Structure 1
């Protein structure tokens, strides 16, 4: 039996730089283009709090995590109705540090405000979507009961017509994206037989970040 306190060392002054460091370590050894996921929580009028695991798409030019969705989805409606009440969590296990030691990292964006990206940025994002995602954007009524056979027929017909046309699939009006501007970034690190350490960055009134260790 043993116990010790974890300690996060040598963290940078800006939370996004710390996030990039951990993400790079978490992806080390994985194939290029591996899927990265994040958990998004929103406030819902019917169910209270809803969370879902979604694809992490990267950072905007101004260093905010962003998320792609469609305007007909519940998550879009939640973010539109409660843009100041969103939370994001990243969770990675078996992350090796520079000494080869493995630990778990949890990174949270707390008190995030969801801001829609301008229309001028959406075409470039749509161009990067894979074929399945583009077809889904045109044929899938998110959250609605369906007849699977009817949806398959619709899908196969759409795919066949697309391949025969040789033309790109147009971006639907429903396609959109949000960036998340957090009030706090929270970084938790722990290994076996340890009490976790957290480093939290708190946004100050002057736009600067104050960082500190906080208890778990």
Structure 2
């Protein structure tokens, strides 16, 4: 049986060079996003969100990006959840996309702010009814009595909203992470990986640099 210390993979699919990347990191992300979409990667929009708690302890979990543009990356959650409370206390956070099929990852450091209620309602209305009811039923991150309690609470809201539209809960909505630094990582042979970093300057321009692997 192969031991953990001997697990290795040689990366060789593609390369990433400073002269070939876009001037703006979101344009570069869009190029990689399109390739990831065409590759039919499972859960292509899954990203790790890292925050810190009141004691400075890092916490990370997987969320789904639902939109991105030059203003930032948007995800949705319960505003009473642990991650939301942590972002309220310290809006600085990190996002990480890992597309193993393309031997790529993108790391984004930035600041999270709540999006408008209008934007949150627009997205909420596009969700399946089951997800809408789930947003009402789950007191996310809190300790609950058990699975049966959750199922009973779900059934309660399902019955409550069975005759009409399901409104967005007041405690549910989106965050937009506005990037200050974005790193594009492309796996390469012999662990000489390509790492291109974009850093936002005070004048609004992006500085592009290569990092050692």
Q: Give the TM-score, by structure 1 length.
A: 0.83
169-178 or 45-54, which deviates more: 45-54
Q: Which residue of 1 aligns with 2:104?
A: 105
Counterpart Cα distance in 2 of 1:47 and 1:180: 20
Return the offset for 1:18. 0.7
TM-score by length of 2: 0.85
Instruction: Indicate which of 77, 85, 92 corresponds to 2:85.
Output: 77
Unaligned runs of 5+ in 2: 1-9
- Residue 50 of structure 1 aligns with which residue? 59
CA contact (8 A) 1:40 1:87 kept: yes
2:36–2:44 CA contact under 8 A, matched in 1: no
CA contact (8 A) 2:77 2:174 kept: yes
Secondary structure at 1:87 match in 2: strand
Q: Distance in 2 between matches of 1:52 and 1:64?
A: 19
Is the 8 Å Cα contact of residues 133 and 158 (structure 2) preserved in structure 1?
A: yes
- Of residues 194, 197, 203, the one that matches 1:200 is 197
Report how many aligned residue pairs link the two structures.
200
Q: Measure the CA separation in 2 of the matches of 1:3 and 1:20.
A: 22
Q: Deviations over 1:7-45 (max 9, x none)?
A: 4131110100111111111121429x9652000000112
Q: Residue by residue, what CA displacement relative to the aligned partner does 1:114-152 show, whole Å, maximum 9, x if unpaired?
A: 111122322111112222221121111112223222321
**Structure 1: gaps (5+ residues):** 96-103
Residues in 2 aligned to 1:158 and 1:145: alpha-carbon distance in whole angstroms? 17
Residue 158 in 1 paired to residue 157 in 2? yes
Q: What is the CA distance between 1:181 and its match in structure 2?
A: 1.4
Give the RMSD, CA atoms, in angstroms: 2.4
Which one of the candidate residues 139, 143, 165 is aligned to 1:168? Answer: 165
Residue 34 of structure 2 corresponds to which residue in structure 1? 24
CA distance in 2, matches of 1:3, 1:122: 40
- Return closer, same or farther for 1:134/1:47 CA change in 2, 3 Å cut-off: farther
* Structure with greater helix percent: 2
